[in-house]
Structure 1
Amino acid sequence: MAQESVTQNTSTIAHNQGDEHSSGQSLLGPLLCWAVVFADIGTSVYYTPGILYQTVQGLAGFFVFLTMTVFILLALKYAEVTHRFPQGGGVVTVAAQAINPWFGALGGMFILVDYFLTAAISSLSGILYLSVVFPTIGIMPIPLFITIGVLILLGILNWVGISESAKVSLVGAVIAFASDIAILFTVFTHLSLGEFFYLIDQMFVKNHLTPFSLLAGFAGSFLAFSGLESISQLSPVMKKPHKKVAGIALTLVVLTIGITSPMLTLLSTSLLPEAAKDSVQSAQIISLLAGHWGNKVLQTEVAISASALLVFASNTAIIGAYHVFIALSRMEFLPDFILQRNKLRGTPHLSIALATGIPIIILIMVWGNINILGDMYAFGLLGAFSLTCLGLDIVRSRDLKRAKALKLAAKTESPRQARETHRAVEVHDLMKSNVQPTATEEENQVEESGSLGGHVNETYEATKLWFKINFGLGILTTVLVIVAWGTNLVTKPLATAFGGGVTLVGMGLAYYNHNRQQKEGRVPVPVVMTRLQGTYPQTTLAILTPHNPHNGAVIRAAINNADAQTPILFLYLAGKRPRTSAPRMMEIIDPYLDDQDAKDAFSKAEALAIKAKVPNRTYIYLQEEPELATQIWQSIHPRDTLVAIENDSQFKDINPDRIRYELTPEGKVAHLLKRW
């Protein structure tokens, strides 16, 4: 009964937080989620055909069709990411929680490389498309200077605090999709079915496939699907249940991209090969296709809509980049100054400046050459895809392992032994990962808005056929994406040099910042859980509360009494901390990372534990009131519960077998001992 009370209270808090989130901003349903993702990924078709033509010539369309199959498998995995990790963050969160925080930092560097190049290539492409209507601005270096001006303007708008709107994305996405369909309809009114198949035949006659070219083309055509990662960044502003909403949204994305991107790539590179060869016209090729087979009106409409949507995609990349900067700083991998907000507008001006300034530097370095930007693109995008896929596979494998252990225990052990096995498996998994324990679908529909890393995953479902098929397809997806990434590392040395260089610099900075904090006595905690479930009968429970000057005494007493066989569970009860504003698109919602007092308390505990060589320690952060400590104690059954004696009135309802007091240099601590 006590455990049910804790669960109900957590659900109520999560529900209230969801109401607060939605009060300032409407949560996104499937259509608006589709719009945001399509407004990002749908822009890739405007520059991909020309860039891809430079490496695979007339086979560009074939390779986009080929890679479309892997894109569908990727979409399945990203749909699962949204409901397993509802706090957002994409590869940063998945890698940090599934593997460890350092891999989260590595994923952050990968996605930053992707965002930098997306901002540069999208904004430059937008200006080049506009030059179809105003030819003068297409003469180099005019488009370069205009693009730099556009990026500066976008940086200023973000500094002012003007946020993106999903409804604006919907308008842009609908116009873009309608324009794509209009182009396809126009072309096929002039092209018979026989002529179309002749184009396909000639594509293979004029261009020979070899094993090397097959790998290179497959790897390079992932550029056509840049933007899929946006769905994982929408989790905090997505309606519940995430699983259903993301599934419908990505089904729409797959259908709309599948209808337009491969076919437009094939037609544009096959029907306008001379334009595909030209460095400027290749960046306008979809608009030129519309004008060649349609009329001037359609060409102009496509050019203007493409230009607007590409600039919009560039802004999305800037927003994504500065939120990743903020997340990595909150995770204590990047310096604190990145979190600084200006007093006038309250926006993170330094992270915005980095997210805007780095793409500008990249544009100047390549002097506005869009083909060079395309050659630089592969590293970050495929690196982020690979790490996300790998992280999700690790989470699924733990589910499968846990399910098999529980199924075997149910068959061979007594009910009591089976329960003990259940707890042993669950505790072992909690020690290894920050991905939260299983919960029912109904619980998660309420809880996932307030508990971080929660996921809709029935442990016992992992033994069913569909889970195993999905698991196998997921591993296949990971292998294919890693093969594509590895191929690009070889075939695109410029991308490897640029992306690898940025990643090494970023990870070097993270390592330096981490070591600096350790020397200052601040030790970042590797894993912090944000949900508590089940019983821990052999655990020492150290209860910490907000801004409590006696937390240090509790921590020191727990460390002093530690032994190799008894795990320590440091539990921080933060209380209800309502958000003062609604979550924004691309934001990573993690209350723990915003709670400096909790981070300082856990940091002190981790430093002392490392010094004392305490092997088994777990950190749990709950947005619960300290008054609920009694219910939590009754729920988890710890052997020894440590509380500061000055705050014992909050724990008066705890009923231990005996109480032992310990005096530490930082205060008196009560040990509430119980044999369950």
Structure 2
Amino acid sequence: MVGKLKRYLIGKPMKSNALEDEKLSKLKALAVLSSDALSSVAYGTEQILLVLMTVGAAALWYSLPISIAVLGLLTILILSYRQTIFSYPSGGGAYIVSKDNIGVTSGLMAGGSLLVDYILTVAVSSSAGTDAITSAFPGLHDHRVLISLIMITFLTLMNLRGITESASVLALPVYLFVISIFVLIVCGIIHYATGGVSAPAPHYGATLSSVSLFLLLKAFSSGCSALTGVEAVSNAIPNFKQPAEKNAASTLLMMGAILGAMFIGISLLAYWYGIQPNEKETVVSQIADATFGRGTIYFIIQGVTALILFLAANTAYSAFPLLAFMLAKDKFMPHMFMVRGDRLGFSNGIIILGLLSALLVIAFHGDTENLIPLYAVGVFIPFTLSQLGMMIRWIKLRPAGWIVKLLINTVGMLTTLSITLIFIITKFEQVWMIFVFLPLVMLLFHRIYLHYENTANELRINLALDKPVIKGSTIVIPVAGITRVVLNTISYAKSLTDNVVAVYIAFDEEEIHRMEAKWEEWNPGVRLIVLRSRYRSVMKPLIKFIETVEWKTAESDHITILIPQFITKHWWQNILHNQTSLLIRTYLFTQKDIVIATVPYHLNR
């Protein structure tokens, strides 16, 4: 039943040699890896306006120069990450760059920040997509969390089906969104130019004594939330078809051009239309309403905007498992993240990402505004470390044209560092938890690494000196009575060795006499040892006996505890029986260096 459901949800297993067919073309990669960055158009301008509105509508004209500054930073990031792609074609982005050039600790800070950022990407995207739906259908506002969780579940299942299949399904909504936004921008400009706007924008150049540099910097840093996701292409280079680095660089440039044009277009329309942020309606919704009215085109724009905001999470589903794989390969995360699933994706990373993001949505009640500052800080820390790492690389290697490359990364590093500090200073009450959570994540990385190193050191052998030690074998069989299960176990034990002993735990004298008489009558050729348990405990007498056998025979014999166990035909029938065998096995596995084996006997009804 479970197997059939799994096949229905994620499809049939794929052969390992089909991995190359799972690589992405530029068009599919643009949809999958750029959906996060492109979707930020839906809320980037809104974040700027939210800050400016704190001093009044007359300050909204500042959104234009701030948007231009954000566009300048986008250009720097695109150029610098393009350099990263060609320098580190194996992928990994900020984690690999920082670890290779600055040090392991910096690499773990970048890697930890990115993992947190990808979890936040899914949470923010699903929450923002829900906001777009509730803007069009206000009656659904109270069901935001449920809608977000449904979409996270859908994306998790889609990505478990494989990156190529998910890209094929999800590419259409991404390109529909891009087309819809450009249609909105062109029609909006025509609408404004022909005098169709009833609410004129505030006078350009208006100054307010209450507008401080601090406020402008805060608005600028908020607008930089539109740049999240830019690094995803450099992280996921192995997912591209060959030549991977060239295809990744081209995809990055296309993404930057599309994102820049859409962001500046929405910012201009928001200013010209005099749009003010509204808790119940997004900025894009207000622009579409003012341009087309609440007709078919409006609902199409809102529909594809909701879709792209949901699907922005797909960027994280592509990048998180790959980054987790690289960290696991370096022994900083559990090895389970290195395992490919039935559909050749890193399914454990996909599932963990879905679960953690769902928990975050529930914890924040689907409130996008509360998540975005934390989200932005999580991505600007690796931005800064990546730029610094590339600066150090150019200074060390000094390849042809290194001065220009160094200049690009230096400007990028100083800018992203400034934005990170602005976020920390201006929104500390919203981002303080990252200073608690990120060190804990880094500590966890170190503890995992230490465990793997200690395990490797303990398990490592000297090929010249360490040889197998040949011993005899003593088998102990715990029995609860004389049954076919015990018969089956004794038969197997005697096929291995003649040194077999059965152990029975009795609670009273009558029970002892009855068991001894039946065993003598049966006479299976195995000695029976009866242990008295005054306090009705099975475990304590048995463990004490095993310790005695272990002490007497450890030098000469291998000790095997052979546990008889019958398997019921239906899973629910297990509830009707004591699970003493499971308790014995669990305890011995964690406490003793002895062999524990189970001999199953399957019931037919």
Task: Give the whole-Å Cα distance in 1 for the aligned partners of 2:178 and 2:43.
Answer: 16
Task: Give the whole-Å Cα distance in 1 for the aligned partners of 2:319 and 2:131.
Answer: 24
- After superposition, the Cα gap between the structure-2 partners of 1:116 and 1:202, relative to the gap in structure 1 and judged at 3 Å, is same
- After superposition, the Cα gap between the structure-2 partners of 1:252 and 1:521, relative to the gap in structure 1 and judged at 3 Å, is closer
Report what 1:360 is aligned to: 358
**CA deviation map 1:167-205 (0-9, x unaligned):** 555433332221111111221222139999974744744
| 8 Å Cα contact 1:37/1:253 also seen in 2 | no
Report what 1:317 is aligned to: 316
Task: Give the whole-Å Cα distance in 2 for the aligned partners of 1:91 and 1:208.
Answer: 39
| Residue pairs, 1:232-271, within 5 angstroms | 232-241=234-243, 244-268=246-270, 271=273
| Residue pairs, 1:376-415, within 5 angstroms | 376-400=374-398
The amino acid across from 1:485 in the alignment is: T
Task: Give the whole-Å Cα distance in 1 for the aligned partners of 2:254 and 2:67.
Answer: 18
Secondary structure, counterpart of 1:376 in structure 2: helix
The amino acid across from 2:281 in the alignment is: Q
- After superposition, the Cα gap between the structure-2 partners of 1:505 and 1:354, relative to the gap in structure 1 and judged at 3 Å, is farther
Report what 1:40 is aligned to: 36
Task: Give the whole-Å Cα distance in 1 for the aligned partners of 2:457 and 2:268.
Answer: 56
| 8 Å Cα contact 1:287/1:300 also seen in 2 | no
Bigger Cα Rg: 2
In the TM superposition, residue 491 of structure 1 has moved relative to its aligned partner by 1.0
- After superposition, the Cα gap between the structure-2 partners of 1:121 and 1:176, relative to the gap in structure 1 and judged at 3 Å, is same
Match of 2:228 among 213, 223, 226: 226
Report what 1:305 is aligned to: 304
In the TM superposition, residue 346 of structure 1 has moved relative to its aligned partner by 7.4
Report what 1:419 is aligned to: none
Report what 2:325 is aligned to: 326
| Residue pairs, 1:530-609, within 5 angstroms | none
Report what 1:351 is aligned to: 349
Task: Give the whole-Å Cα distance in 1 for the aligned partners of 2:286 and 2:464.
Answer: 68
| Residue pairs, 1:19-418, within 5 angstroms | 23-25=20-22, 27-29=24-26, 31-57=27-53, 58=60, 59-137=62-140, 139-140=141-142, 142-159=143-160, 161=162, 165-168=166-169, 170-192=171-193, 199=201, 201-202=203-204, 204-205=206-207, 209-241=211-243, 244-268=246-270, 271=273, 273-274=275-276, 276=277, 278-282=278-282, 285-295=283-293, 296-339=295-338, 350-400=348-398
Is 2:492 the counterpart of 1:490?
Answer: no
In the TM superposition, residue 122 of structure 1 has moved relative to its aligned partner by 0.7
**CA deviation map 1:233-271 (0-9, x unaligned):** 332233555564444333322322222112203423663
- After superposition, the Cα gap between the structure-2 partners of 1:257 and 1:347, relative to the gap in structure 1 and judged at 3 Å, is closer
| 8 Å Cα contact 1:386/1:482 also seen in 2 | yes
- After superposition, the Cα gap between the structure-2 partners of 1:237 and 1:320, relative to the gap in structure 1 and judged at 3 Å, is closer
In the TM superposition, residue 293 of structure 1 has moved relative to its aligned partner by 1.2
The amino acid across from 1:77 in the alignment is: S
| 8 Å Cα contact 1:130/1:307 also seen in 2 | yes
In the TM superposition, residue 132 of structure 1 has moved relative to its aligned partner by 4.1
Secondary structure, counterpart of 2:432 in structure 1: helix
The amino acid across from 1:177 in the alignment is: V
| 8 Å Cα contact 1:60/1:221 also seen in 2 | no
Task: Give the whole-Å Cα distance in 1 for the aligned partners of 2:245 and 2:351.
Answer: 35
Give the aligned CA root-mean-square deviation in angstroms. Answer: 3.3
The amino acid across from 2:44 in the alignment is: T
In the TM superposition, residue 549 of structure 1 has moved relative to its aligned partner by 8.1
Task: Give the whole-Å Cα distance in 2 for the aligned partners of 1:468 and 1:259.
Answer: 29
Task: Give the whole-Å Cα distance in 2 for the aligned partners of 1:473 and 1:345.
Answer: 40
The amino acid across from 1:352 in the alignment is: I
The amino acid across from 2:326 in the alignment is: A
Task: Give the whole-Å Cα distance in 2 for the aligned partners of 1:73 and 1:200.
Answer: 31
- After superposition, the Cα gap between the structure-2 partners of 1:157 and 1:171, relative to the gap in structure 1 and judged at 3 Å, is closer
The amino acid across from 2:420 in the alignment is: W
**Relative to structure 2, which stretch is displaced further, 321-330 or 243-252?**
243-252
Secondary structure, counterpart of 2:369 in structure 1: helix
- After superposition, the Cα gap between the structure-2 partners of 1:345 and 1:204, relative to the gap in structure 1 and judged at 3 Å, is same
- After superposition, the Cα gap between the structure-2 partners of 1:257 and 1:352, relative to the gap in structure 1 and judged at 3 Å, is closer
The gaps in structure 2 that reach 5 residues or longer are 1-16, 54-59, 467-605
**CA deviation map 1:96-121 (0-9, x unaligned):** 22223332221111111211111111
| 8 Å Cα contact 1:338/1:351 also seen in 2 | yes
| 8 Å Cα contact 1:279/1:370 also seen in 2 | no
| 8 Å Cα contact 1:110/1:381 also seen in 2 | yes
Report what 2:440 is aligned to: 505
Secondary structure, counterpart of 1:385 in structure 2: helix
| 8 Å Cα contact 2:22/2:164 also seen in 1 | no
The amino acid across from 2:320 in the alignment is: A
- After superposition, the Cα gap between the structure-2 partners of 1:552 and 1:227, relative to the gap in structure 1 and judged at 3 Å, is farther
Task: Give the whole-Å Cα distance in 2 for the aligned partners of 1:315 and 1:237.
Answer: 14
| 8 Å Cα contact 1:39/1:172 also seen in 2 | no
Secondary structure, counterpart of 1:273 in structure 2: coil
Task: Give the whole-Å Cα distance in 2 for the aligned partners of 1:470 and 1:91.
Answer: 17
Task: Give the whole-Å Cα distance in 2 for the aligned partners of 1:338 and 1:87.
Answer: 18
**CA deviation map 1:474-515 (0-9, x unaligned):** 211111111111111111114432322221121111122233
The amino acid across from 1:153 in the alignment is: F
| 8 Å Cα contact 1:52/1:221 also seen in 2 | yes
In the TM superposition, residue 382 of structure 1 has moved relative to its aligned partner by 0.5
- After superposition, the Cα gap between the structure-2 partners of 1:346 and 1:231, relative to the gap in structure 1 and judged at 3 Å, is closer
Secondary structure, counterpart of 1:377 in structure 2: helix
TM-score under structure 1 normalisation?
Answer: 0.59
The gaps in structure 1 that reach 5 residues or longer are 1-19, 401-458, 524-546, 554-676
Task: Give the whole-Å Cα distance in 1 for the aligned partners of 2:346 and 2:29.
Answer: 25
Task: Give the whole-Å Cα distance in 1 for the aligned partners of 2:147 and 2:196.
Answer: 41
- After superposition, the Cα gap between the structure-2 partners of 1:27 and 1:317, relative to the gap in structure 1 and judged at 3 Å, is closer
- After superposition, the Cα gap between the structure-2 partners of 1:207 and 1:259, relative to the gap in structure 1 and judged at 3 Å, is farther
* Identity across the alignment (%): 20
In the TM superposition, residue 469 of structure 1 has moved relative to its aligned partner by 2.3
In the TM superposition, residue 337 of structure 1 has moved relative to its aligned partner by 4.7
| 8 Å Cα contact 1:82/1:232 also seen in 2 | yes
Task: Give the whole-Å Cα distance in 2 for the aligned partners of 1:23 and 1:516.
Answer: 34
In the TM superposition, residue 352 of structure 1 has moved relative to its aligned partner by 3.0
The amino acid across from 2:306 in the alignment is: S
- After superposition, the Cα gap between the structure-2 partners of 1:24 and 1:82, relative to the gap in structure 1 and judged at 3 Å, is same
Task: Give the whole-Å Cα distance in 1 for the aligned partners of 2:338 and 2:20.
Answer: 25
| 8 Å Cα contact 1:326/1:339 also seen in 2 | yes
In the TM superposition, residue 291 of structure 1 has moved relative to its aligned partner by 2.1
| 8 Å Cα contact 1:62/1:266 also seen in 2 | no
- After superposition, the Cα gap between the structure-2 partners of 1:208 and 1:246, relative to the gap in structure 1 and judged at 3 Å, is farther
| 8 Å Cα contact 1:339/1:348 also seen in 2 | yes
- After superposition, the Cα gap between the structure-2 partners of 1:268 and 1:370, relative to the gap in structure 1 and judged at 3 Å, is same
**CA deviation map 1:258-286 (0-9, x unaligned):** 22112203423663534x1x22313xx21
Task: Give the whole-Å Cα distance in 1 for the aligned partners of 2:289 and 2:187.
Answer: 10
**Relative to structure 2, which stretch is displaced further, 125-134 or 67-76?**
125-134
